[in-house]
Amino acid sequence: MVDIISTKALYYYISSKAGCDPCKTIYLCAPTEASTSIESAEQFALKSGWQAIAEEQGAILVVPVALNGWNAEAVSLLMDIYNESKNSFHTRSGEAIWGRTGTLWCWETILYLVGYEEGATFAGNVLVSHPNMFAGVALVNGLPNDYSKAEAPSSHWMIKTVSEDYAVKNSGIPVHLWLFEENEEIAQKAVDYFGNSRSDDNPEEQVRLFVGDYSSEDTRLSKMIFEECFNHVIRWKNSPDGTLAQIDSKKEFYADPRFIRKKAVVGELSYDYFIHLPEKKTADQVTGLPLVFTLHGRGEPAWMFTTKNGWDLLADETQEFVLVSLDSPGNIWFMLRDNEVFEKVIAQMIEDYRIDETRVYLTGFSNGAIMAREMAYCRPHLFAGISPSNGPWFDSRSMQLKDDSKPPKEMAPEVSQMMKEFEKSGWEMPCAFFYGDNDPAANAQENSALEFMLRVNHCEEGLSRAYTEENYFTLGKGYKEGDRFQTEVYFREDQSARVCVTVMKNMPHGAIAEEARFTWEFLKQFYRPKGSKKVSEILGIK
């Protein structure tokens, strides 16, 4: 397509299969002779096989045009194109995430770059200057020739303002890079440069060199790059420069025996949910264990979200709980539409696994955090505690009323009434909030639910304690990034901790696995006796 979505000249293609899932965005830098016009860029997209790949994979393909050759283009070109066009690609399938008014989601975590010949040299120079932009990069028959930005400070593009002690340079940011080059000796400089930042602890921080004679129009090579490289790496948005991680495709996740796929039907709606039992435990061996729900955010399906925040690995490590990751219709949660499914899933988990129904905990991220709050208000008897992470202040009912990206101006009256009835009836609900200090979508200062949760949990004014790396989040307790936690824990008069708020340092709209660790350490102490509006304690944080 060639309609205007950017001030830069480019050709782009939107898959007819793209819809409610986040779209991989693939940037393709063609050889010089194929990049001087929109028509030649389109022809290369077809001949190289990348347009067919984008169509099949539900992706978006962007092919920049270098009218005067790649040497004339600034290395900021691809970042400029992304920032201009990220909210401009309209669905062809008729499906899109609610709240985006028909546009597809080009998520920062799944951007990919492939270049050929002179386009590969340009793409390599882009990678030197913007190593944090892409999850995966492939260069075919071309290598970077400009390392002048190597020691420049990181652009930390995933957050606006970094802490004073953040001193990362471009050369220190890990990449996932595959090089296809005929001359191994010439390629060694790039291998050495990009390889210096990798860590043995993270296999996705990698530089691989394939030596051989490669054609820029070899569709088999394009398919291999996508399937073996781009389809299995993501740059999670959980730090200034993101974190590279392995990720399964939807097909692979659905076939993974670690996650037992089941279905719950409520009226005309069907919900997939994925059960993870602690490693090496059978269904009979989890009898009596508590249940933890983890809810994805808007647009992020369970197959992408479930392993993101480390709940499955924490279950394996502690052997203390069963995990359920629940999927919503259209990748968005609406409390009025979706609240009935939780009771149904819990009942099925009791029947199938005999979990402890007095210890069911609900956690969620972003829109999932909104849902966690609202489920506490409307069906408090189901849960012994909740943890909303990076939850915007507003409610899901207001979101449901209008397909609009702008937040509502006030809380929907239905939700406000539920909160009043919850408090009037004397319900308690321990709660662990999480926020990022650089999260534009969810600000801790706008957390109107905090005052409410302090009241209903009878936390006394002035009875709180700060938890930091010095007194809690230590390496010995499993916190490798303990310096990022700033937590305030609120107590009742009897010194029982019932509410906590954590603000994560250098954090955008994202989360790290260690947040799940603290959430579990906080929530697991609580249980709700059957039929009780009060919550009792097993263990206490004193």
Which tens digits make up the pLDDT trace of 340-360? 999 999 999 999 999 999 999
Beta bridge partners of 13: 61
**Average pLDDT score over the chain:** 96
**pLDDT the model gives residue 5:** 67
pLDDT for 157 beyond 50: yes
Q: Which residues contact 480 (CB under 8 A, 6 or more apart)?
A: 514
481/492 Cα distance (integer angstroms): 29
For the chain, domains (ranges, CATH) are 10-246 (3.40.50.1820), 250-401+411-458+506-537 (3.40.50.1820)
Q: How many CA atoms lie within 13 A of 214 on its CB side?
A: 26
**pLDDT the model gives residue 6:** 73
103, 59 contact by CB (below 8 A): no
User: Helices (DSSP H) in 296-447: which residue ranges?
Assistant: 302-305, 311-318, 335-338, 340-353, 367-378, 396-401, 413-424
**pLDDT the model gives residue 535:** 97
Q: Is 297 left (phi over 0), alpha (psi -120 to 50) or beta?
A: beta
Band the pLDDT of 461: cuts 50, 70, 90. confident
Q: In angstroms, what CA-CA distances link 457 with 256, 321, 418?
A: 40, 24, 16
**pLDDT the model gives residue 406:** 84
What are the tens digits of pLDDT across the range 132-148? Answer: 999 999 999 999 999 99
Give, for 243, the enclosing helix (H) or strand (E): strand 243-246
What are the tens digits of pLDDT across the range 471-527? Answer: 999 999 999 999 999 999 999 999 999 999 999 999 999 999 999 999 999 999 999
Percent of the chain with pLDDT over 90: 93
Closest C-alpha among 401, 480, 418 to residue 452: 418
What are the tens digits of pLDDT across the range 163-221? Answer: 999 999 999 999 999 999 999 999 999 999 999 999 889 999 999 999 999 999 999 99
pLDDT for 1 beyond 80: no
Higher pLDDT, 4 or 366: 366
216/439 Cα distance (integer angstroms): 41
What are the tens digits of pLDDT across the range 214-267? Answer: 999 999 999 999 999 999 999 999 999 999 999 999 999 999 999 999 999 999
What are the tens digits of pLDDT across the range 287-342? Answer: 999 999 999 999 999 999 999 999 999 999 999 999 999 999 999 999 999 999 99
**pLDDT the model gives residue 4:** 58
pLDDT for 541 beyond 50: no
pTM of the model: 0.96
pLDDT for 540 beyond 90: no
Structure token pair of residue 402: 């209008």
